[in-house]
Structure 1
Amino acid sequence: MTRWSLAGLLVLGTALPASAETDAAAALEPQQLEPYQIVRSLELVQDRLAGGDHASQPMQRKLLEMIDARFATRESARFENELNRRALLIYAMSGGNPATLEAGLAHLGKDDPNRLLGEKILLYVNGKPNEALEAFASVDPMTYSPDVGMYVALVKGSMMAEAEPGKALPMLDRARLLGPGTLVEEAALRRSISVAVTLGDTKRFLRYAEQYVRSYLHSPYASQFADTFVAGVVALQDKVDRRAVVDLAAMMEPEQEKVIYLRIARRAAIDGLIDLAAFAATQAEEMADDPRAELYASLSLVTSGEIDNVLERLSRIDRERLSENDRRLLDAASAIAAELTAGTKPAGAQSQARPIRSVGPEPVITAAGDETAKTTPVPSRSRSPGPGRGVDASVEKAEAMVAATRAKLADIDKLIGDMPE
């Protein structure tokens, strides 16, 4: 079998065949290469992962282990090389060991820009977001070399996403500008989609989503994109152009397209968004006969309080074609629908026989009844809720019932945690 050299990979820019990658990593001694060379190999492998080469994942793990071992040695001469100092930062921001970063920074001079930046990165990788965000406030990724700057922009933009979403998008755009076609761009796009939802910016939401689908639909992190996209469509359902959603979904592979619609239908159904759930379920049904589409469309009716014929619809669903968790969701929806139906049935015959008091002006008191009228007080209006209050109470009761239904299904959905795949 041909042995591949990682050093040769760096020089030639050649992609290793998936079948040879693990052998190459296993056959190579870390001491044969400078740390920055192994880090460059890691970046190449990660970029292939972003493009959909899932077979590169074992190579990524092996390279991270090799880099960690190389930086963990007690030799300090390697840090005389500026490329190695920068590689230490890139390694840390690429999922490296925080302890290795901390040990490596000790070899750098106190005024070394790499050490100053590394100390800020250390706050981030050690899970101290507030301190890290404050430390990064004055950091401009454009002042660093692009190989470091793109990671800095991604880290800073990710931290700003929650605290300052309006400023996070430009920072994530810089990460994409500095690292086109890389795993950094893939991650920046995923985060940008989420931030656009937070800001309620439908144009950016759809634009970022389209860019992701065109370039990174086969990334191992595409499932995270799907979660974010579905959440965005549901959150922005009053503003998002459904024709644009259809066009974007059509760019996916048929199975991915169907799953996206099923996820939207399920989430919308739980939230009681009848129109959106019906739209997504219809789109899914047009692609394939899937009982999940009917289930989620029926769920939306249950959570909206419109339960006419919903029990019949649920009973027609083929349970055998559902996953175990969706069967549990079907059973829960059927039970709730039955409970709601029972709650809306008219009262029994005895109750119906009671005289119904007419609503209208007070009856005219005749002369013969004057004495009775004087001694029998007429109930004041304040003692009776009146027809208006009765209607209000019924509406409030119905709204409370619908809210309770949604809450029940939401709790069940969280407990099950099984989204269409």
Structure 2
Amino acid sequence: MRRAVLHRMIGLLLLAAGNPSVGFAQDALQPYQLVRSLQLVQDRIAAGDHAAMPMQAKLLEMVDARLRDTGADDFKDPRNFRALLVYGMSGGNPLTVETAVSRATVAPEELAIAKGVISYLNGRPADAIETLRPIDPMTLPSDLGAFLALVKGSLLSGEEPAAALVLLDEARLLSPGTLVEEAALRRSVGIAAMQGDAARFALASTQYVERYLYSPYASQFADSFVSGVVALHMSISQDKLGDITSMMDPEREKVIYLRIARRAAIDGLNDLSAFAAARAERGRDGIGNQDDPRALLYASLSTVTSGTVDDVHAKLDRIDRGKLSDGDRALLDAARAIAGELVAPPAALPARKPAFAAVEQPPAVENPSAQPSGQQTSDEAGLPLVEGAMPEQSTAPASGEPAASMSNATAVAAAASDGAAALPASAPAPATGLNPSDPTDAAMIKARRQLDLIDQMLGAAPR
């Protein structure tokens, strides 16, 4: 019944917005009725109804206009003041909130919440948390308490993560199945990973995928999920990871595994990278991705120094570099250079010099400034959460791959192709006990230097 009434209310609001002759409908509605309508639309968006986003924009405009016109009489109804605070904690206009609060006569606790919300909206988190800390969200009406718990949890996530997780749980308890719960779960995933709490991370991730996978904000969840899987790789089993991703559709699952494989390869986690790349290649429901150049590349990165050289070469040769991002093309070039160096023949023996030959002067030290250098690209391998299906948050800038003259990975690849003599001054010869003047030992030193280079390349590559 309540949902049907709200749907009729939204229809009336949109009719009023589109036809000025019936604009009186907007003025006749109380602020709390407008804010409830806005919350209903936001909950639909969180559940995956992206078509409701234009409706949200129109309602935000109408709510803002109505609240700017409120007077002292409007706030005699406590529901209207609570609605003002909810609007503010939903990301409302701080000027509107400040103006409306200045006209209201309310209890000290409500005024304290208002001051904390205004500090929060104006980018003063320390002031906001100091003002809001004594207020227990569980003692407030659920509509206001849920948002207050979410805001406090967000503010405390950096310095007091354990307390933040408790508050986010309270937000979910007070407002299940809403945008508040979606945001609380999404933030819990990142905090649990930061805390090293693998069980909490897996539980929050499972709940998010079950309920909010199609939210327009799910790309933020994906960022936290991929980072958490890499950070907690020693604590999360491959079976548990598979259980979580199995709830995704095949395309989303593939892209998640591609992102995990790339991050794991860059961080030197070969087992995780190989597992994720294999899952991305295998696909699901009989639809494989063996020809996906990214899956082939990340699988090769995890075996370039340990797999059979011929197999690695075969994989690298199958990759269509034209389908890779700039950052991944640099990774491909470096992998090819390293694989080539591992099978390069040892240098020829130098001609024996007569005992009476003049001692040669040592070669000049290579100028470090002559080494290839470039600026680190912010490329993310062209991997969204899922191509064309899960947009970034509406306020985020459009994604793209910034151009760069030469990435760090490209510079390392160029150095690798030039052999050990091209190593920068910061990469000295490893202390191996080998004799550089012996051709066989020199080849071993060169190969080990190439391994060092691939480590440098992976560490410098964009994440």
The two structures have a TM-score, normalised by structure 1, of 0.78
In the aligned structure 1, how far is the partner of 2:435 from the partner of 2:456? 22
Q: In 2 relative to 1, CA 185–352 (structure 1 residues): closer, same or farther, beyond 3 Å? A: farther
SS of residue paired to 1:180 = coil
Moved more, 224-233 or 149-158: 224-233
2:145·2:174 contact (CA, 8 Å) conserved in 1?
Answer: yes
Which residue of the partner structure matches residue 32 of structure 1?
28
Matched, 1:246 2:242: yes
Partners of 2:12 and 2:74 lie apart in 1 by 29
SS in 1 for 2:74: helix
Post-superposition CA distance 1:51-74 (Å, at most 9, x none) = 111111111111111111011126
Structure 2 counterpart of 1:387, one-letter code: G
Structure 2 match to 1:226: 222
Corresponding residue of 1:66: 62
In the superposition, relative to structure 1, how do residues 43 and 332 fare at CA in structure 2: closer, same or farther (>3 Å)?
A: same
Contact 1:311 1:334 in 2 (8 A): no
Structure 1: any 5+ residue segments left out of the alignment?
1-8, 356-384, 414-421
Could you give the per-residue CA deviations for residues 65-120 of structure 1, whole angstroms, max 9, x where no partner exists?
Answer: 11110111263321222111111000001121011111111112375432211101
Q: Alpha-carbon deviations, 1:227-254, whole Å to 9, x = none?
A: 2111111111111111011111111112
Larger RCO (alpha carbons 8 Å, 6+ apart): 2
What is residue 406 of structure 1 aligned with on the other side? 458
Q: Give the alignment partner of residue 97 of structure 1, picking from 90, 93, 110.
A: 93
Q: 1:340 aligns with which of 338, 341, 344?
A: 338
Corresponding position: 1:140 with 2:192: no
8 Å contact 2:71–2:104 — kept in the other structure? Answer: no
1:76 aligned to which of 61, 72, 75: 72
Give the drift of 1:292: 1.9
Structure 2 residue aligned with 1:298: 300
Counterpart pick for 1:151 among 147, 153, 162? 147
Cα distance change on mapping 1:173 and 1:88 into 2, 3 Å: same
Query: Which residue does the alignment assign to 1:387?
Result: 433
State the AA in 1 paired with 2:167: M
Q: Distance in 2 between matches of 1:226 and 1:332?
A: 24
Q: Which of the pair is proportionally richer in helix? A: 1
Q: What is the CA distance between 1:305 and its match in structure 2?
A: 7.9
Contact 2:47/2:215 (8 A) holds in 1: yes
**Whole-angstrom distance in 2 between the partners of 1:386 and 1:36:** 74
- TM-score between both structures, scaled by the size of structure 2: 0.72
1:34–1:54: structure 2 CA closer, same or farther, 3 Å change rule? same
Taking a change above 3 Å as real, the CA distance of residues 306 and 102 of structure 1, as seen in their structure-2 partners, is farther
Residue in structure 1 matched with residue 425 of structure 2 by the alignment? none
Per the alignment, in what secondary structure is the counterpart of residue 84 of structure 1? helix
Larger Rg: 1
User: In structure 2, do the counterparts of structure 1 residues 11 and 52 end up closer, same or farther at CA, with 3 Å as the change threshold?
Assistant: closer
Is the contact between residue 307 and residue 340 of structure 1 (CA under 8 Å) also seen in structure 2? no
Deviations 1:177-234 (A, max 9, x none): 0001111011100011111101111111111111111111111111211221111111
Q: 1:20 to 1:331 in 2, by over 3 A?
A: farther
**Displacement, 1:299?**
2.9
Q: Equivalents in 2 of 1:172, 1:193: separation in Å? A: 11
Aligned counterparts of 2:9 and 2:69: Cα–Cα separation in 1: 30
- The 1:41–1:25 alpha-carbon spacing in structure 2 relative to 1, beyond 3 Å, is farther
Structure 1 letter corresponding to 2:347: G
Alpha-carbon distance change, 346 to 17 in structure 1, aligned in 2, over 3 angstroms: farther
Give the superposed CA RMSD.
3.1
Judged with a 3 Å threshold, the aligned counterparts in structure 2 of structure 1 residues 51 and 262 are, in CA distance, closer, same or farther, namely same
Q: Whole-Å Cα distance in 1 between the matches of residues 134 and 432 of structure 2?
A: 65
**1:26-69 per-position Cα deviation (integer Å, ceiling 9, x unaligned):** 34632121111000001111111111111111111111111110
Structure 2 segments unaligned to the other structure (5+ residues): 355-430
Q: Is the 8 A contact 1:10 1:37 kept in 2?
A: no
SS at match of 2:461: helix
Structure 2 residue 94 is the aligned partner of structure 1 residue 42? no
Query: Where does 1:176-195 land on structure 2 (aligned, <5 Å)?
Result: 176-195=172-191
Do the aligned residues in 2 keep the contact of 1:314 with 1:330 (CA within 8 Å)?
Answer: no
Assess if the C-alpha contact under 8 Å between 1:10 and 1:40 holds in 2. no
Asked if structure 2 preserves the Cα contact closer than 8 Å seen for 1:269 and 1:300, the reply is yes
Distance 1:240 1:140 in 2: 34
* Cα distance change of structure 1 residues 145 and 386 upon mapping to structure 2, 3 Å threshold: closer
User: 1:272·1:301 contact (CA, 8 Å) conserved in 2?
Assistant: no
**Structure 2 match to 1:258:** 254
SS in 1 for 2:44: helix
Pair 1:214-2:206 in alignment: no
Name the counterpart of 1:109.
105
| CA shift for structure 1 position 335 | 2.6
Q: Do 1:10 and 1:41's aligned partners in 2 also have CA atoms closer than 8 Å?
A: no
Instruction: Name which of 117, 123, 130 aligns with 2:119.
Output: 123
Paired with 1:266 and 1:19, the residues of 2 have a C-alpha distance of 47
Q: 1:351 to 1:172 in 2, by over 3 A?
A: farther
